[in-house]
Structure 1
Amino acid sequence: MSESPQSFHVTRCDPDRNMARYYSLTMQPTLFGEMSLVRNWGRIGTRGQQKVDTFSNSSALQKAFEKLTKQKCQKGYK
C-alpha cells in the first residue's frame, strides 16, 4: 500500500463457509470543497451496498481511512 492511498480494495473468501465478500474505500472530493470517503461492500458478484461520509478536513478523512483499512485487515480481508 502506498504512503497516501486514494483507494483500498480487499476481499475475503472462505468456501467452507460459503463466504465471498469484498470491501472497498475511495477518497474523493465533493462538489462543495469537502472530502468524502465512499465505502462499498457486499458479496462478490453483486452490487452490494454503499455509504458516503463527508469530512471538512483531510486529516479527519485520513484517520477514518486508516482506521477502516486496519479493521478490515484484522478481520482477515486480503
Structure 2
Amino acid sequence: MTDKDTLAKNNEASKTDKRKQSLYFPESMLQEIKEEAARLDRSLSWVVQRAWKLARIDIKKLPSVNDVADDEDSGD
C-alpha cells in the first residue's frame, strides 16, 4: 500500500467516524435543542451537526484568542 493509498483510506475513515464525543451545553440551551429536535423529529446529534454546518462560515469569521490579545496589547 502506498502513502497515497493510506492517506485516501484515512480520509475516507474520518468522514464516516462515528465515535462518541461528549459535549456540554448550558441547561437552557440543551432544552432548546431538545425542543427543536422533537419539533423536527430528528436526533439531538442531527440538530447540532446541522447547526454547525449552517454556522461554521460565521464562526470562522470570529477572531481567535491570539488575535484579540494582540489587538488589546497594541491599544496602549
TM-score in same-fold range (> 0.5): no
Q: Which has the bigger relative contact order, CA under 8 A and spacing at least 6? A: 1
**Higher strand residue share:** 1
| TM-score calculated relative to the size of structure 2 | 0.29
**Structure of greater Rg:** 2
**Higher helix residue share:** 2
| TM-score calculated relative to the size of structure 1 | 0.29
